[in-house]
Structure 1
Amino acid sequence: MTDAQVQDFQKRVRGISRQHRRFTNGYVELVERDGLLVPRQRRMRRGFPIKGLVLTLIGFMVFKGFMLSQVGALNYTDRLDRLAQGTLIEQAGAWVMQADPVTQAIAGQLAGLL
């Protein structure tokens, strides 16, 4: 074989190896119009999980509303005031758990259900 043929062969082998490495993350088989199955690389999502963050925040707001509806508004604010007198972490917890309008609306809805 000539040197050009060897280089062409090595180039094709590198391309096939690169394609195999990409397919290790998964692939989807697409059917072409002529019935040929063609593997395509599965898109990998590499970003901030916005959906997970939103679901976590909604769950936290429902938890706060549930706590407010079960304990009562006066008792809830009394507990938050006592929590605000504690350490720095307890003060941060009191600030996060304060009853905002969304929490009060959720508590009103939950009080009607329970």
Structure 2
Amino acid sequence: MVNETESFHERLNRIQRVRRRNRGGMGFVIHPDGIVTPIGRSSSRLRFGFPLRGLILGLIAAIAVKSYLMWALGIEIYALNIQSLLSGTAFEQLAAMVLMPDALSLWVTERYDAIYAFMQAGLAASNAA
């Protein structure tokens, strides 16, 4: 009976360790006199951090779409569309400022050219075979 009680308490201790780990060390201790005291971090706060990952992914997507538009339309037609937006409403002017070509989007547009040339070479090779 003593052996069973020891294994039972070992199992309880193991379960409590897992539960403590899962909740970040926070919990409660019940003392023999019946007083309940919290353990773990003294101040827990809700975490509302700035969504940096979402912002970065949004910027990457915006640059990719802007570069694709420049590549598909051509730089000249794209620049004409931007000029027409600059003479529009305040919202259109803001959109034109965001959509203006910059060094990074021009670099990505060049990468699109390289990828397109690579795909065309692969298609030509597969058609010749």
Task: Determine if the TM-score, normalized by the shorter chain, exceeds 0.5.
Answer: yes
Q: TM-score range by the shorter chain?
A: 0.5 to 0.7
- TM-score scaled to structure 1, two decimals? 0.64
Match for residue 75 of structure 2? Answer: 73
| SS in structure 1 of the partner of residue 85 of structure 2 | helix
Work out which structure has the larger RCO, using CA pairs closer than 8 Å and 6 or more positions apart in sequence.
1
Among candidates 83, 86, 94, match of residue 84 of structure 1: 86
Inter-partner Cα distance in structure 1 for 2:102 and 2:91: 20
Inter-partner Cα distance in structure 2 for 1:71 and 1:100: 16
Inter-partner Cα distance in structure 2 for 1:110 and 1:85: 30
Q: Which deviates the most, 78-87 or 39-48?
A: 39-48
Give the letter for the 2:91 counterpart.
I
Aligned length: 81
Q: CA deviation at 1:77?
A: 0.4
**Does 2:24 correspond to 1:36?**
no
> 4+ runs of 1 displaced by more than 3 Å?
42-45
- Structure 1 residues without counterparts, runs of 5 or longer: 1-34
Inter-partner Cα distance in structure 1 for 2:114 and 2:76: 18
Match for residue 29 of structure 1? Answer: none
Give the letter for the 1:91 counterpart.
Q
Inter-partner Cα distance in structure 2 for 1:45 and 1:72: 45
| SS in structure 2 of the partner of residue 36 of structure 1 | helix
| SS in structure 2 of the partner of residue 48 of structure 1 | coil
Give the letter for the 1:95 counterpart.
M
For 1:3-26, what per-residue CA distance to the aligned partner results, in whole angstroms no more than 9, with x for missing partners? xxxxxxxxxxxxxxxxxxxxxxxx
Q: CA deviation at 1:63?
A: 0.7
Give the letter for the 1:82 counterpart.
S
Q: CA deviation at 1:49?
A: 1.1
Give the letter for the 1:67 counterpart.
L
- Structure 2 residues without counterparts, runs of 5 or longer: 1-12, 25-43, 117-129
- TM-score scaled to structure 2, two decimals? 0.57
